[in-house]
């Protein structure tokens, strides 16, 4: 950095702008810009076409493809990478520093992208039930986890980058589908408050790393409980589910289909305003109170009472009788588990 500042001092009036150029690329690096975004941003900054190519990675990008090609100013990075600016006239005074920071950012971001892709593949292998134990152990060691040391698997639906930031630099992630796999040595107790709204997380128990598939399976099971109703936890730990975990693990959809209370809820849901009635039932079970349920779903308590009475007639039992609310709660849970498979 000292050498860079000495060079800037020779730019006289442009020194301040050069510092701004450095800050511009630093922000792209901090934001983990994708290669195409880096090229596009550089072209906008330089106000001329810009490009990036790395044959070893199969990358060839150029921004402002409709612009006329001019004289190229080129800077190499890594072993096979090139970045360039294209101008039809003479280079501008700051082009050299733009190219330097462009090349530096390209090298850093592409290397980081490769590392993350490698880590994602290893994390996916670590939780795969089809992998042999020796193969899983090698993947864990490559991720800097000891196969015998405790490790949590997390199932994340939503902003996995924010979850990784909350878990710390040792956490690793894979994205096999809409649900992301995350591996972490420790999970903070306040994780729910460190992640953005709309992100749901199921946390598997801390098991030896070689048993990561088991923790991952239980994390996916815990994730199913995060969508049971509005206002319920967005982060669920499998080891705090108690008997609910056994219900989720052992009851198949075809078993649930035979439960008469679940069939009655399905019929209720199919009626006009049926979805609203089910929301009321979930709120009532969660709060245990007509008035509190009304506040949760933003309805007048008399409306809630009418909805509950209607549902009691359809299901054929009183929610206020001994065991009635428990029976309703179980029916809602079973219906939810049927509709939220792992």
pLDDT means per 10 residues in the chain (342 residues)? 43 68 88 87 91 85 76 88 89 88 89 69 87 90 91 92 86 80 92 83 95 94 78 81 86 88 93 89 87 86 89 92 90 88 67
Architecture category of domain 149-241 in CATH: 2-Layer Sandwich (3.30)
Q: Please state the domain extents for the chain.
A: 2-117, 149-241, 253-339
Using left for φ > 0, alpha for ψ between -120 and 50, and beta otherwise, residue 155 falls in: beta
> Are the CB atoms for 329 and 232 separated by under 8 Å?
no
Give me the pLDDT at residue 104, please. Answer: 92
Alpha carbons 166 and 180: distance in angstroms, whole number: 15
Alpha carbons 192 and 202: distance in angstroms, whole number: 11
> Are the CB atoms for 150 and 94 separated by under 8 Å?
no
Kindly tell me the burial class for residue 243, based on how many C-beta atoms sit within 10 Å of its own C-beta (0-12, 13-18, 19 or more): exposed
Give me the pLDDT at residue 203, please. Answer: 95
Give me the pLDDT at residue 177, please. Answer: 67
Q: Is 202 helix (H, G, I), strand (E, B) or coil?
A: strand
Give me the pLDDT at residue 230, please. Answer: 56
Alpha carbons 279 and 269: distance in angstroms, whole number: 10
DSSP assignment of 99-133, as one string?
HHHHHHHHHHHHHHHHHHHHHHHHHHHHT-TTS-H
Task: Count CB atoms within 10 A of the CB of residue 54.
Answer: 20
Give me the pLDDT at residue 7, please. Answer: 47
Give me the pLDDT at residue 88, please. Answer: 85
Alpha carbons 278 and 259: distance in angstroms, whole number: 17
Assess if CATH 3.30.870 describes domain 253-339. no
């Amino acid at each position: 950095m000292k050498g860079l500042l000495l060079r800037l001092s020779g730019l006289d009036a442009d020194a301040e702008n050069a510092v701004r150029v450095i800050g511009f690329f630093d922000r792209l690096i901090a934001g983990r810009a994708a290669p195409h975004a880096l090229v596009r941003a550089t072209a906008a900054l330089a106000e001329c076409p810009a490009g990036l190519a790395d044959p070893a990675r199969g990358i060839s990008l150029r921004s402002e493809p409709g612009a006329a090609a001019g004289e190229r100013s080129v800077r190499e990075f890594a072993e096979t990478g090139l970045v360039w600016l294209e101008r039809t006239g003479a280079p501008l005074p700051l082009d050299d520093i733009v190219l330097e920071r462009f090349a530096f950012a390209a090298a850093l971001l592409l290397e980081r992208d490769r590392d993350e892709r490698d880590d994602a593949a290893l994390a996916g292998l670590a939780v795969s039930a089809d992998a042999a134990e020796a193969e899983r152990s090698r993947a864990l060691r490559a991720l800097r986890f000891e196969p015998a040391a405790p490790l949590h698997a997390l199932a994340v639906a939503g902003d996995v980058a924010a979850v990784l930031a909350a878990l710390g630099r040792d956490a690793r992630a894979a994205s096999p589908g809409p649900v992301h796999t995350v591996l972490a040595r420790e999970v903070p107790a306040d994780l729910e408050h460190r992640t953005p709204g709309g992100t749901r997380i199921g946390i598997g128990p801390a098991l030896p790393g070689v048993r990561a598939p088991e923790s991952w399976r239980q994390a996916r099971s815990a994730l199913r409980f995060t969508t049971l109703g509005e206002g319920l936890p967005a982060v669920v730990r499998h080891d705090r589910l108690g008997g609910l975990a056994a219900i989720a693990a052992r009851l198949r959809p075809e078993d649930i289909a035979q439960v008469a209370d679940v069939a009655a809820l399905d019929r209720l849901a199919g009626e006009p305003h049926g979805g609203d009635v089910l929301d009321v039932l979930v709120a009532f079970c969660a709060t245990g109170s007509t008035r509190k349920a009304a506040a949760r779903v933003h309805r007048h308590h008399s409306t809630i009472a009418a909805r509950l009475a209607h549902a009691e007639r359809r299901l054929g039992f009183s929610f206020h009788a001994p065991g009635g609310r428990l029976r309703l709660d179980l029916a809602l849970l079973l219906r939810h588990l049927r509709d939220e498979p792992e």
